[in-house]
Structure 1
């Protein structure tokens, strides 16, 4: 099996032995690019954007990711327009991570697609699989939330700080907790009145 076939098997969600020199090359590539990004001053916006576009699979025209940022491959991350990722965002993208337009992610958030074997002997051999994560348009994920493998978060949802998202969250709701649960729908009563903005 060549490198592309191994990576495609990993992306597909099939179990595989992931301790592999060719997979390791791709991990090292992403680690080097993350290191380069995180070493650049915030004022070097054009350079930072160039590194992000080299690192990530797809991005919108405008993207802001504050350092430090870490990911496993980068190439399996697709981000839409107007993305803001705050300090300490980690995305382990063994599987595809698809993020829509105008998504805000708070500090210290982890998005994970990798599932390791439960039995120690197999886990130590590097047996793992991946499950994709999908985040819809206009989602806000509060600080230190954890998004687990296989989760879809619907358009316009808000995930409360510190939540652990273990299952799909529908569109247009406020969801919080560990495990994360829907609290209520978001409605016009959540709109901030103009008088409060003066």
Structure 2
């Protein structure tokens, strides 16, 4: 029989109240608290906390405040930057490539719930992986919805709500986010 964590990571319905998952979220919240409340000059302390929390493959910088559910489902490539107020609901994997920049208040949501009210009232929830390619810039206040892939060399305009996949080499904007221009290569 699969654990609730295995179900969660497979994108199946799972119980978020599972004891193991609750403990893992509490651990992440303790680390996030320490990170968000570190003094500005405590650069090494903040980096150490983030390295314990997330999977980083290279250099990165995240401005506080930062929030996530588990942390261990976040994979970031080299040369990553997230400005103030980034929220990553990493109930499933969030895979971020190299050279990705996020403006303030970017929100990344893998978590979702059934749209049928009767199913939703049972407490069921599930999550879908989000993938962001290399050389991506995500503008301030953008929301990335569950299951979305954003292609490499792409810019997502400020305030966009990304509900569907966005290809490589484009500028996309709006609610819902749509391609507004293809980039010359």
Normalising by structure 2, we get a TM-score of 0.95
| Alpha-carbon distance between aligned partners in 2 of 1:139 and 1:126, rounded to the nearest angstrom | 35
Query: Any stretches of 5+ residues in structure 1 without a counterpart?
Result: 189-198
| Alpha-carbon distance between aligned partners in 1 of 2:53 and 2:154, rounded to the nearest angstrom | 27
Normalising by structure 1, we get a TM-score of 0.89
| Alpha-carbon distance between aligned partners in 2 of 1:22 and 1:111, rounded to the nearest angstrom | 23
SS in 1 for 2:67: strand
For residues 39-118 of structure 1, the aligned pairs below 5 Å read 39-56=37-54, 58-118=55-115
Which protein is richer in helix relative to its size?
A: 1
| Alpha-carbon distance between aligned partners in 2 of 1:102 and 1:85, rounded to the nearest angstrom | 11
Alignment correspondent of 2:27: 29
Aligned partners of 2:4 and 2:15 also within 8 Å = no
1:172 to 164, 169, 183: 169
Alignment correspondent of 2:183: 186
Query: Any stretches of 5+ residues in structure 2 without a counterpart?
Result: none
Which of the pair has more CA radius of gyration? 1
Alignment correspondent of 1:196: none
Residue by residue over 1:56-107, the C-alpha shift from the partner in whole angstroms, topping out at 9 and shown as x without a partner, is 1x10331100000000000000000000000000000011000000100010
Aligned partners of 1:19 and 1:126 also within 8 Å = no
| Alpha-carbon distance between aligned partners in 2 of 1:8 and 1:79, rounded to the nearest angstrom | 22
Aligned partners of 1:139 and 1:157 also within 8 Å = yes
| CA root-mean-square deviation | 1.4
Aligned length: 185
